[in-house]
Amino acid sequence: MTQDAATTAGAEALCETVRWFAQRGYCPGTGGNFSLRVDDERLLITASGVDKTALTPADLLPMTVEGALLSDGKPSAETGLHLALYQRDPAIGAVLHVHSIANTLMSRIGMPQQLRFEGYEMQKAITGNHTHATRITLPVLDNSQDMDELASALAQRYDEATPAYGFLVRGHGIYAWGADLASARRHLEGWEFLLACELQRRQLENIR
């Protein structure tokens, strides 16, 4: 497969993934942003303000890993966090960010610095976890409209976020990544399931 063909196939796969999450309510109001590494120097990222339920490759913007835009268009306002991740770890192949009710609420209840999960079989969706019998954690960063500030906060806690392949931004949403699009999607699906389970568990405990 030529590089251009591989890029086209990657763009189609990214759009299918984005539409799948959006159709499940994870990208309300055109929210969320998504990117895919094309090669060592380039990536594709969703344009700002597009309807994620109907995303097409025309809505993806090419840019360099250093942040130079390679076509006309306005990339997501949170592009800086994607770039920070790709620059920090060349092994990252895709970064996915969504806003769900579960991830938004769980990042605010009790204002945690991290969320802990244990006893769930779905923990094995996160690379490196092989049993429900261990504890895994998902870090929570305080929100900011300043992407440089958020990127700096992530840098300080990157070692904590690395085994989770993700982190929450308080009251905002979750970022998840992987070595390729398939693993990034699996990590995001896994975390969303765990967050939804924990939210409902707490609700049921309060009812009792």
Any idea how long the chain is?
208
The kind and range of the H/E element at 13 are helix 3-22
Q: Which DSSP state fits 136?
A: E
Cβ–Cβ < 8 Å for 18, 57: no
Is residue 71 scored above 80 in pLDDT? yes
The mean predicted confidence, pLDDT, of the chain is 95
List, as one string, the DSSP characters of 153-177.
HHHHTHHHHGGGTEEEETTTEEEEE
Span 149-206, pLDDT tens digits = 999 999 999 999 999 999 999 999 999 999 999 999 999 999 999 999 999 999 998 8
Binding site annotation covers 130? no
End-to-end CA distance of the chain: give it in Å, rounded.
Answer: 58
How large is the average pLDDT for residues 28-44? 96
Q: Which DSSP state fits 45?
A: E
How large is the average pLDDT for residues 84-98? 97
CA dist list (Å): 64 to 73, 74, 142, 181: 14, 14, 28, 18
CATH superfamily ID and name for 3-207:
Class II aldolase/adducin N-terminal domain (3.40.225.10)
Can you say whether residue 171 is alpha, beta or left, with left for phi > 0 and alpha for psi between -120 and 50 degrees? left
Looking at residue 1, its pLDDT comes to 43
What tokens appear for 139 in the block? 């870090």
The rounded distance, in Å, linking the Cα atoms of 199 and 189 is 15
Looking at residue 19, its pLDDT comes to 98
CA dist list (Å): 17 to 23, 89, 160: 10, 22, 26
Binding site annotation covers 187? no
Span 93-111, pLDDT tens digits = 999 999 999 999 999 999 9
